[in-house]
């Protein structure tokens, strides 16, 4: 299937001379939830802003459902709903008018039942006649989401949707994202919360200093995370791994003091009991043992550290 968003060789250098994006290639599949992770200043908002036609690329090309975001700006933008990182709104309007107006901006005919449904879904119904400026920050964020959905976009960008929001709104947002996905909407979100990516995403991309350093199916990442290591500190160093142990997933550390056994913690049989029995039979004694598990957070930190 052809991707709904195709990004090729995308580069952005701001007037300050700072390269914010360096040759990004990425394809977003129709109907997926893609989570973009990366530290502050990595280029997440810049990437989203270019796809949404708000920032011009320095080089490269972005197609949204076949439309070039620069050349065919209106057609491309009509397919997209954007919830920006910064809150910006018409403070004096009512919630309902603000959301209905957004729909009009995209040239869509009025559809009050659709607007009312969105307000209901986002728990904004009771606030429909309030002026936006009188709302709390979390409620304003809900209005931003309602605006982004007002024209029934096929693609939704959520730039840090849950930064600084309470647990309840976060849960509402996750439920809403799932409903939209079920309705076929493609969703790209940025987040600093790794557990959010773990919970929501079909695929995860990590961006660091303007480069995509990882793009992977979440299931593959989770499988990698399901692997644990059992580390045995030996009583006496081994010069080499005994031949009897050669068929086990074992490694001997360079100094010979540690045996590292890798296993899948999700399997019923980890093979640990058999390993320990065999070590006893071979007269290999250990004075300590512990297990370590890598998490998505560790993978993320090591990717980002290893490159800075
Ligand atoms: N309008 C601008 N003019 C000049 N430099 C900019 C502009 N917008 C962003 N930058 C710079 O580009 C780089 C990437 O910024 P960007 O906002 O895309 O990062 P981000 O990944 O969204 O970060 P955060 O997690 O803090 O939101 C940063 O170094 C930033 O200072
Ligand atoms: Mg940002």
Rounded to a whole number of angstroms, the distance between the first and last alpha carbons of the chain is 36
Class of domain 227-294: alpha beta
Question: pLDDT tens digits for 8-42?
Answer: 999 999 998 889 999 999 999 999 999 999 888 99
Whether 45 lines ligand 1, by a CB cut-off of 6 Å, is: yes
Question: pLDDT tens digits for 191-233?
Answer: 888 778 888 899 999 999 999 998 999 888 877 767 788 999 9
| 5-222 placed in CATH 3.50.50.60 | no
pLDDT of residue 1: 67
Q: Which residue has the higher pLDDT, 53 or 163?
A: 53
Taking the CA of 44 as reference, the closest ligand is 1
The residue-averaged pLDDT of 289-307 equals 74
Domain spans in the chain, listed from the N-terminal domain onward: 5-222, 227-294
Query: By the 8 A CB rule, do 58 and 13 touch?
Result: yes
Mutate to test the pocket of ligand 1, among 13, 42, 51, 213 (most ligand atoms within 8 A of CB): 42
Ramachandran quadrant class, 127 (left: phi over 0; alpha: psi -120 to 50; beta: rest): alpha
Q: Which residue has the least CA distance to atom 2 on ligand 1? A: 14
Whether 299 lines ligand 1, by a CB cut-off of 6 Å, is: no
Q: Which residue has the higher pLDDT, 267 or 29?
A: 29
Ligand 2 center–CA 49 separation, angstroms: 10
Question: pLDDT tens digits for 62-114?
Answer: 999 999 999 999 999 999 999 998 877 777 789 999 999 999 988 899 999 99
- SS3 at position 305: helix
Ligand 1 center–CA 74 separation, angstroms: 25
Q: Which residue has the least CA distance to atom 8 on ligand 1? A: 46
C-alpha distances in Å from residue 305, one per residue of 15, 36, 63, 67, 301: 28, 17, 32, 37, 6
């Amino acid at each position: 299937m052809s991707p709904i968003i195709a990004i090729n060789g995308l580069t952005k250098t701001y007037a300050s001379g700072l390269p914010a994006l360096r040759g990004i290639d990425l394809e977003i599949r129709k109907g997926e939830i893609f989570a973009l992770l990366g530290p502050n200043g990595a280029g997440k908002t810049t990437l989203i802003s270019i796809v949404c036609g708000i920032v011009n690329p320095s080089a490269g090309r972005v197609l949204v459902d076949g439309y070039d975001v620069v050349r065919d700006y209106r057609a491309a933008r009509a397919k997209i709903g954007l919830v920006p990182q910064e809150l910006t709104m018409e403070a004096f309007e009512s919630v309902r008018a603000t959301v209905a107006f957004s729909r009009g901006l995209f040239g869509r005919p009025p559809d009050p039942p659709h607007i009312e449904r969105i307000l209901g879904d986002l728990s904004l119904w009771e606030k429909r006649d309030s002026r936006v400026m009188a709302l709390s920050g979390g409620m304003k964020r809900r209005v931003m989401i309602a605006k982004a959905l007002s024209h029934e976009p096929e693609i939704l960008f959520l730039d840090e949707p849950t930064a600084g929001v309470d647990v309840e709104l976060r849960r509402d947002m996750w439920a809403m994202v799932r409903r939209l996905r079920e309705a076929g909407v493609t969703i790209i979100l940025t987040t600093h919360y790794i557990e959010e990516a773990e919970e929501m995403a079909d695929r995860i991309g990590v961006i660091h200093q303007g480069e995509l350093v990882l793009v992977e199916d979440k299931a593959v990442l989770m499988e990698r995370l399901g692997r644990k290591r059992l580390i045995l500190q030996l009583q006496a160093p081994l010069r080499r791994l005994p031949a009897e142990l050669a068929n086990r997933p074992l490694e001997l550390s360079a100094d010979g003091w540690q045996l590292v056994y890798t296993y899948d913690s999700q399997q019923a049989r980890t093979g640990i009991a058999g390993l320990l029995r065999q070590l006893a039979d071979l007269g290999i004694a250990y004075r300590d043992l512990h297990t370590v598990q890598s998490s998505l957070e560790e993978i993320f930190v090591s990717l980002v550290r290893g490159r800075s």
